[in-house]
Structure 1
């Protein structure tokens, strides 16, 4: 899918109306919340006796509290009922809530506004499972990354514009509250109109019985998701991002006012650069991922979140201005470009982090349970965001500064990311593969769609270098169990990498007959569980560049497990730094030059009864051709 086709989804009825329904919802949420937080941050005494820092952390907490209570029910409703009808119901609900909020604005009644905050939290809770379950039903698998990127971009652009308009309208004298009340009702109507263009999307499980016991259903959802380890850890990663983002964003009103000494326009500027960063990162995901679901971007995103979060602490402490300034005067202050770059890059890397996680959850969970899986994720999101609000209130109450809060969050992010990636090594493997093909090599995959997206199969490939497995991982739509020479597991870095990736060690009958037999048992078990298994039938790296004789192990594998065999051929790796080509190490390192061309050709599946070593060797040879 080309970059232009990503945006062409906006012109199609299966995506465009839903995009605008989501956009106006995010826009209105944040127009209303931002107007309320700005008026309470800059004119708190007219509305409440609570401390400004407390109230700006409390309002986001109240908004996401309904996610804890109602997410389980929302997930059941989204699986049971047709999604376009649910979207229209939620939009009518939004219109009613904004009418209640308008009464609060006009009568200067804070409790009505707080009730509307909770109401919009319920509105968003009901729409969340619909939003992410709708996309896999309407988009093709190759469109999911682009579609999720557009939804995330639209969400954060909506957030940005809502926050800007809310911050601008509320301080407009003398009709600020009237303008906010009218604008929120008008935006609700726009969203309602868009929802009536959303095409009918059938319920995946219309016979589902909805349980009103939200506590039991919440635990049931989470327990079901835990059975799928990669999906559950992706849910945790997603929730951690919302912890990080909620903690950072909630500080912006007070950070801009009390630390940066800016007026409300400085607050708007910070929101603008952050939201532009998120939108940019979300849209870049499709290009950087090669138009497929590339979870290797997730570790890349987490690295950026920590690095730029840490630098934001140092950049903030270097800020010396003590005079009240507007946005124009603020950007001319010493050190401000660094602060703004840090904030925008936190947004960009946040986009890299979140979009692939959404796509992974959508494609790897049970299709009949997708809305309830999203609901379970929303429960976790809510708990993490409540924890973020609580942590911020406690730390600020203990005398920590907001920049110190940024530093603590960035360090926590590094620790959490390291923990998650140690539990799911696929993230790390995909990251290394992505780095390899983005920085060192240009890899062209020929007929990559022949690698099955589901079901057991054996991949056989020529063996040229120590990075062969990483190149193959980069081309595969799913994890692969590699069968590797046991000696590789003794290498410090490579051994750890392949052990964490659940590679299967094998030895020759001469070296270790027990290990050889155990390897065949492990291979059969992996295939029985529906995994992809890749072997290099030559048994060793080539020392001549030519394909050596395929050993008989492949015949033993397919005799035990009747699965298709898919031939692969690596081209262009002979002469790589980690190959056995003759020549000085330094000479090999630079022989191909930066961004050298590689290719991985994928052949047609071979039936297990036909998969002899001789036939497979010939097919790999034909795929490779003369290009070593």
Structure 2
């Protein structure tokens, strides 16, 4: 893969007046806001996934389509709207988009109260779709505003903390969803009330975010912005490093989507530890991700270190192989639960190390007036990958059903399918990255990129 050319050189500070990271009020406002948003999304989504698992358990045919359908529903808006969201992030104030998205979140969570009270899965999935739409418009503005409010040398550490808190929010939101579903029983409308309050608090925390200049005032609309527009396609063709980072980012989210569904089914259906303890497995992943993201940002200093991507990929692959293998050796539920807590924590740590350099590069390298659209393309491709993860998991279950029908001994005694096999497949998918991805480190001290 080619080295980055001067047209996408990583930029240096344009203004010495920008506050250091620790005293940057706008950054901390954004950090808290995005944490609350990601926590809320995943709390709501996990309750819906657990409702889907309940439907599957009651289904005479095994109900293998319910979880993938929910994942598909949440991912589809990102595929449909991320390109346009990136266009808006370049054409309008990113701060304005962030605040408006948070206001929309309040309205959507209020609809969630009615959806949970109604109880029909189709209505819950409708609200899940709206949640995905709101998040699709939030993403490019959130990531695109970082280079505008921070010193360039602070980007690796800032991204480390952004990624850390994002994943912590995802995992803690997932864990809270499992706990709330178990505690609320038949009164799931109260989950919607909790989500509405969190959305309101997140809106208040977004208000101190500073106004920044519009990247491309009057940027003309073209239908190509609904996907990946032509200038962005040309940039990715010309700069293979950006394209490689984009593809690796999407692969990461594909694997994450599959692992989330696998662990949910593994805990709830294979070792049968219930909603709350299944969700707790993700909490251990969060601890690992937090450590990994922080460590990656610390090791990077003011440099994008692609060696961390290779190390993270190798560790992720090893952890997934180990978890799949140990499940074959010992199928005692209590022992496996303990093993998976430690293994998922380690897996999360390597995942955090893996993703921070990629995210930093995708923010820092594009020209200033194309950042929003490049990050919109990143959002689009990542969520296409998550969409494919739902389809892949559905097909994997169908394949496992056929194998178990031929060789019944393959199925665990307590579950219809050996869900842990999917982890082994994901390990094989990630394994080539340390061998094929070879790029030099990039100091964050170069001249600004050309527009």
Band of TM-score, shorter chain: 0.7 to 0.9
Deviation for aligned residue 1:277: 1.0
Instruction: Give the alignment of 1:467-546 within 5 angstroms.
Output: none
CA–CA distance in 1 between the matches of 2:80 and 2:435? 31
Partner of 1:618: none
- How far residue 280 of structure 1 moved from its aligned partner, in angstroms, is 1.1
Are residues 123 and 10 of structure 1, via their aligned partners in 2, closer, same or farther at CA, if it must alter by over 3 Å?
Answer: farther
Give me the whole-angstrom Cα distance separating, in 1, the residues matched to 2:57 and 2:269: 16
Which residue does 2:435 correspond to in 1? 418
Q: Matched residues in 2 for 1:78 and 1:348: separation?
A: 31
Aligned equivalent of 1:293, options 301, 304, 309: 304
Partner of 1:453: 446
- For residues 434-449 of structure 1, what are the structure 2 equivalents within 5 Å? none
Partner SS, residue 15 of structure 1: helix
Cα offset for 1:275?
Answer: 1.4
State the 1:416 CA deviation. Answer: 4.7
1:13 aligns with 2:6: no
For each residue in 1:49-77, what CA deviation from the matched residue of structure 2 results, as whole angstroms up to 9, or x when unmatched? Answer: 88444212221221111111111100000
Matched, 1:235 2:246: yes
Change (3 A) 1:150 1:395: same
Aligned to 1:620: none
More helix by share: 2
User: Which residue pairs with 1:583 in the alignment?
Assistant: none
- Are the structure 2 counterparts of residues 115 and 216 from structure 1 closer, same or farther at C-alpha, using a change threshold of 3 Å? closer
Quote the Cα distance in structure 2 between the aligned partners of 1:69 and 1:389. Answer: 16
1:108 corresponds to 2:119: yes
d(CA) in 1 for partners of 2:61 and 2:374? Answer: 38
Where structure 2 has 5 or more consecutive residues not aligned to the other structure, the ranges are: 1-19, 404-417
* Match runs of 1:604-619 below 5 Å: none
CA separation in 2, counterparts of 1:243 and 1:35? Answer: 21
Deviation at 1:273, TM superposition (A): 0.8
Classify 1:416/1:390 alpha carbon distance in 2 versus 1 (closer, same or farther; 3 Å): farther
C-alpha distance 65-173 of structure 1, shift in aligned 2 (>3 A) = closer
Q: 1:406 aligns with which of 419, 423, 429?
A: 423
Looking at structure 2, the residues matched to 96 and 122 of structure 1 have their Cα atoms a distance apart, in angstroms, of 13
Name the residue aligned to 1:31: 43
Structure 1 residues 221-263: Cα deviation after superposition (integer angstroms, max 9, x where no partner): 3343232111111111111100111110122221102222211
- 1:280 maps to 291
TM superposition shift of 1:454? 4.2
Structure 2 Cα separation of the partners of residues 188 and 67 of structure 1: 20
* 1:246 and 2:239 are equivalent in the alignment: no
CA distance in 1, matches of 2:142, 2:389: 24
Q: Tell me, yes or no, if the aligned pair for 1:286 and 1:292 is still in contact at 8 Å.
A: no
More strand by share: 1
Q: What is the distance in 1 between the residues matched to 2:198 and 2:261?
A: 24
Matches within 5 A, 1:49-448: 51-174=62-185, 176-214=187-225, 217-218=228-229, 221-321=232-332, 330=334, 333=335, 335-399=336-400, 401-419=418-436, 421=437, 425-426=438-439, 429-430=440-441
Contact persistence 2:94–2:141 (CA under 8 A): yes
Distance in 2 separating the partners of 1:215 and 1:19: 28
Structure 2: distance between partners of 1:11 and 1:170: 39
RCO (CA 8 Å, sep 6+): is it higher in 1 or 2?
Answer: 2
SS in structure 2 at match of 1:172: helix
Supply the RMSD in Å over aligned alpha carbons: 2.4
* TM-score normalized by the length of structure 2: 0.86
Sort the Cα spacing of 1:182 and 1:50 in 2 relative to 1 into closer, same or farther, 3 A: farther
Normalised by the size of structure 1, how large is the TM-score?
0.62
